Structure 1
């Protein structure tokens, strides 16, 4: 492994995973977590810069070391959560493992991770990264739509990820997430119907707004997808998980990293980031561009019509993810469910999966 790649491997201090924000920003705990970065310097001050709470907490903070140098960081983990939310800890472990095992050996623009703290027995973890915003990056939003050219640039990043599917060999810790979703253990059919009956489903047809139909479709998709070649995919490639730098776009949030068909990522991504009219006009061209990128990376890909069919089916995955989402700002949920649900309608995804 080259020196460049070695420098990207995060430190893995053997210390306790913090359960609260207070613990995470405690100078004594941070002295252990950032020992490799500190290089023997003490921590003189810790300043909280921004706090974002969804399911996981993201806290941007600045550390002033004893010699006066100030550095910005972002810590992500389950902090100050109830017992039910804490059950999502394995996704935080998965994200930390991505930065430990995948990010150092892949040509992908991701945040520089300086340390991961993992409790494998308790299935909890926090990841500490450089503060991208302090370094000039800008995060995208569901309410900040992409152009077709933007989508082509972000597809370039996804193609680089998918092209390293050789990393799935022996990596049993990267699971087939679509198959797990199909078990409907995340939300009951009744609760899902209640969600779809709310504002998120207002512009969708009764067929697509039906929780029963969605349950059948996601199970059929999982079965078909599992029988196809498996790729290393992001699993949650919406606009809010894309950032922009002077060098280009990058990808964050690896809590749903998984093995699955390429179409799950591509169909979800394009129909989440693009306004519906732009997606309808541009998606087939963009799919062709993606397939060409993958072939350029040496990957064997399906022909145009087979790929188009997989894409049309794959939209169901993203639609299901956002249909069950609760702990995100309502306008964002409504926007994503509307875009992805209309894509399911446009492509007759449920009919293809019947």
Structure 2
């Protein structure tokens, strides 16, 4: 557990040039630069998805020397992309208010710069790769042991986070709102599922109307169950590994919901279908054992298996609606999660005709 990042009162940069300006960085990184100005900045890598991630070296005047960082924010973004800035604020608040209280391995955040009125935020972290860590690829196939390692982090998140929910009203349920987004109609979703991402799915599962109904039915059931602090997007691309073990990144879909949402999404996304078919129940039992050992009150094995099979719907929906991720990643995750919905009869369990 860390002491938490600084929260300097600065303007949130709009562009890469502004974010890497030595004068701005001198103020943003004052807490780790001993107050010394940044004299030079060297870009190591730029990763552009919806948000922009920039790995860079900052050299400070004096004894602070050269240090390695990663900056994340909506930089050089169009207006539609910037409308998603509230998710960056949510992630920043996770690092400010929750990460220091959780026994979960996350990148060390050193500063969060937020404009709450504009709903924009930029996160500055230590560079995990420069520190010897490795980010998993979104297309990386996990072994059962790999999944057990990252599942342990999810168990720690759920155990530590449950006690924090009462004091964090800003972490809200999201399943119901995701299933009722006005800009994601059944027709639009059907068009996405009719593409390559749905090629291995049965017509009953490759159905936009039913998928929206399934998400809404899951939201109704989930609302009546014990709530946990849930990552909400624990696919392989949001896992990293260090000498200390697995860690979790990308907290932009942080929410409160049932434990099974994280567990089912994670296992069905990271495991190849053939491995999931043989190992997912063993891994679910592993999570239950870990969670109970950490003090969680969890259902018995049969009820947990039922909730798991229903909760697969969440991940399938999340990747079914995805439009701004590389096609090969979108196809793989939608396929794995959709085939899990088929395997578990998730629609039937949720009462969706």
TM-score with structure 1 length normalisation?
0.97
Correspondence 1:342 to 2:351: no
Which of 114, 118, 122 is residue 126 of structure 1 equivalent to?
122
Q: Give per-residue Cα distances to partners, 1:207-247, cap 9 Å, x unaligned.
A: 11100010110000000001100000100000000001111
- Structure 2 residue corresponding to 1:202, chosen from 195, 199, 202: 199
- When structure 1 is superposed on structure 2, of 62-71 and 124-133 the one drifting more is 62-71
Counterpart contact for 2:138–2:238, Cα < 8 Å: no
Matched, 1:82 2:78: yes
Q: 53, 58, 65: which one pairs with 2:60? A: 65
Alignment of 1:301-316 (within 5 A): 301-316=298-313
1:287 equivalent in alignment to 2:287: no
Mapping 1:93-112, distance limit 5 Å: 93-112=89-108
CA distance in 2 between partners of 1:31 and 1:266 (Å): 41
Q: Give the C-alpha shift of residue 8 in structure 1.
A: 2.7
Q: Do the aligned residues in 1 keep the contact of 2:23 with 2:37 (CA within 8 Å)?
A: no
Matches of 1:306 and 1:250, distance apart in 2? 28
Determine if contact 1:73/1:128 at 8 Å carries over to the other structure.
Answer: yes
2:155 is aligned to 159
Q: CA deviation at 1:298?
A: 1.0
* 1:212-231 equivalence runs, <5 A: 212-231=209-228
Asked if structure 2 preserves the Cα contact closer than 8 Å seen for 1:95 and 1:255, the reply is yes
Quote the offset at 1:284 in angstroms: 0.5
In the alignment, structure 1 segments of 5+ residues that lack a partner are: none
1:35 aligns with 2:35: no
- The CA deviation at 1:70 is 1.1
Q: Deviations over 1:87-116 (max 9, x none)?
A: 101100000000001110111100000000
Residue 264 of structure 2 corresponds to residue 261 of structure 1: no
Measured after TM superposition, the shift of residue 13 of structure 1 is 0.3
Aligned with residue 170 of structure 1, among 133, 142, 167: 167
Whether the 8 Å CA contact 2:26–2:35 is kept in 1: the answer is no
Structure 2 counterpart SS, 1:351: helix
1:353 — aligned with what? 350
Q: How far has the Cα of 1:185 moved from its partner?
A: 3.1
Q: Identify the match of residue 328 of structure 1 among 325, 328, 331.
A: 325
Return the TM-score normalized by structure 2: 0.97
Residue 186 of structure 1 and its aligned partner are, at CA, apart by 4.7
Aligned to 1:193: 190
- Show structure 1 runs of 4+ deviating over 4 A: none
Partners of 1:77 and 1:127 within 8 A in 2: yes
For the 8 Å contact 2:41–2:59, the answer to whether it is kept is: yes
Residue of structure 1 equivalent to 2:44: 49
Aligned CA RMSD, in angstroms, stands at 1.0
Unmatched runs of 5 consecutive residues or more in structure 2? none
Mapped contact 1:142–1:272 kept (Cα < 8 A): no
SS state at 1:163 partner: helix
Tell me which residue corresponds to 2:109.
113
* Aligned counterpart, 2:248: 251
SS at match of 1:74: strand
Q: CA deviation at 1:74?
A: 0.5
Residues 8 and 113, structure 1, Cα contact 8 Å, conserved in 2: no
CA distance in 2, matches of 1:335, 1:184: 24
C-alpha distance in 1 between matches for 2:245 and 2:304: 27
Q: Kindly tell me the number of residue pairs found equivalent between the two proteins.
A: 349
Kept in 2, the 8 Å contact 1:157–1:250? The answer is yes
CA deviation profile, 1:137-164 (whole Å, cap 9, x unmatched): 1111232100001101110000000002
- Partner in structure 2 of residue 276 of structure 1: 273
